[in-house]
Amino acid sequence: MDIFETLARRHSYRGEFTNAPVSRDDFVKILQAGIDAPSGCNAQSTSFVAIDDPLLIQSIANMLDRPYTRTAKAMIACVCDKTPARPGSEAVYYKEDAGAAVENMLLAVTALGYATVWLQGAISGEIATRIARLLSVPEKKELLVLLPVGVPKSEGKPNPKRPFGQRVAFNKYSF
């Protein structure tokens, strides 16, 4: 599928996954897509914990009981380094870096025939802390996003988008 079809087909999948595994080769491709994302000052502040151990997935599902966590065959935890991007600067870009990495992975997931949902608010606070401990994430790092991955049991589709003309204005803001 070409990039524009992938963009149009990407959606947040909140249903159950089938029992089909996520192949290690595909999982590596998805993770590489995250690594290939741009980052502020090339700080590369986002790292990933690739989770495919069924016991770890079950432990996370016990903390975040949703159809997509209970049946996921793989998960990706996006871990951020909140250190300033340049020495002597206070500028941090970890949220932007993570957003770019996650979007790349969402597109890779779609292109390879899998599905996922971007979990950020659902894992904030105590749940994020507990998952981070489970995954041995250092306390100075932040678990920001979790992506459960699998083969969708049902076909999802993207939510409708407002028309182009309601979201884009050329040369000046006119909405």
Please tell me the distance from the alpha carbon of residue 142 to that of residue 128, in angstroms, as a whole number. 8
Q: What is the pTM of this model?
A: 0.94
Structure-block tokens of residue 26: 């595909």
Give the span between the Cα atoms of 35 and 32, in whole angstroms. 5
CA–CA dist 120, 143 (Å, integer) = 9
Q: Please give the chain's pLDDT, 175 residues, in tens.
A: 899 999 999 999 999 999 999 999 999 999 999 999 999 999 999 999 999 999 999 999 999 999 999 999 999 999 999 988 888 888 899 999 999 999 999 999 999 999 999 999 888 899 999 999 999 999 999 999 999 999 999 988 899 999 999 999 999 999 9
Q: Which residues, in sequence order, are bridge partners of residue 75?
A: 51, 148
